[in-house]
């Protein structure tokens, strides 16, 4: 009788172990879930944005220039951070003859009939850059020529009338790339808006 019970208990134990092993094998045999694609898609979007930022000359105004071995060159330690907050400038020279505009040595401050404009901080800093902006606000800015689509007008030399012709995918790619660059805390001065000419 005891022998029969031992055989039954042993058989039950073998069945349990086999069941657990089978469950583990079954779990291992299940096909792996497909890899999430948004990361790869986002990487492609960011790469596209990087290409567009480089090709559309954003560095030309939004990265301060410094004097290098071969003349003026962008200061990449301040990449796309706009006009340096610590750069105090005297009043711009008055235009003479057909010359109606002037630019600072950093290429980040411009003056003309519109007043004085300072290039914006495009880094993702939340206090002084685009860190709190949405992709839609960025697109609206470029489309409408106004800050976040409804604020003050964008001033020269910002070529938004040309950039507004970019499609949504490209503008979103530019913004996606700008979200990946180092955040630089740099509060750009507010522009100085010139009063309208007499009689206007």
Q: Structural domain boundaries of the chain?
A: 40-193
Q: Give the whole-angstrom CA distance, residue 145 versus residue 164.
A: 8
- Please compute Rg for the chain using Cα positions: 30
Q: By three-state DSSP, how is residue 51 classified?
A: helix
Across residues 108-136, what is the average pLDDT?
A: 97
150 Cβ contact list (under 8 Å, min separation 6): 140, 144
With 0.85 as the threshold, say if the pTM is over it: no
Q: How many CB atoms neighbour CB 32 within 10 A?
A: 5
Please say if the pLDDT value at position 169 is more than 60: yes
State what percent of residues in the chain have pLDDT above 70: 80
- Whole-angstrom CA distances from 80 to 14, 19, 95, 153, 194 are 68, 62, 28, 20, 26
Name the nearest CA neighbour of 119 among 129, 130, 108, 103: 108
- Give the pair of three-digit tokens for residue 31: 């096909």
Per-residue pLDDT reduced to its tens digit, 126-153 = 999 999 999 999 999 999 999 999 999 9
Question: Tokens 């040309």 identify what position?
Answer: 162
């Amino acid at each position: 009788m005891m022998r029969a019970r031992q055989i039954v208990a042993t058989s039950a134990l073998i069945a349990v172990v086999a069941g657990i092993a089978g469950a583990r094998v079954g779990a291992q045999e299940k096909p792996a879930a497909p890899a999430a694609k948004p990361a790869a898609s986002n990487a492609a979007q960011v790469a596209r944005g990087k290409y567009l930022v480089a090709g559309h000359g954003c560095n030309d105004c939004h990265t301060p220039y410094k004097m290098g071995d071969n003349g003026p060159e962008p200061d990449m330690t301040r990449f796309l951070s706009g006009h340096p907050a610590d750069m105090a400038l005297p009043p711009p020279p008055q235009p003479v003859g057909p010359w109606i505009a002037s630019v600072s040595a950093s290429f980040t401050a411009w003056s003309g009939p519109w007043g004085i404009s300072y290039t914006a901080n495009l880094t993702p800093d939340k206090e002084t850059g685009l860190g709190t902006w949405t992709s839609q606000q960025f697109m609206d800015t470029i489309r409408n020529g106004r800050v976040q689509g409804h604020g003050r007008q964008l001033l020269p030399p910002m070529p938004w009338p040309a950039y507004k012709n970019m499609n949504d995918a490209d503008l979103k790619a530019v913004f996606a790339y700008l979200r990946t660059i180092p955040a630089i805390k740099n509060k750009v001065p507010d522009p100085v808006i010139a009063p309208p000419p007499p009689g206007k």
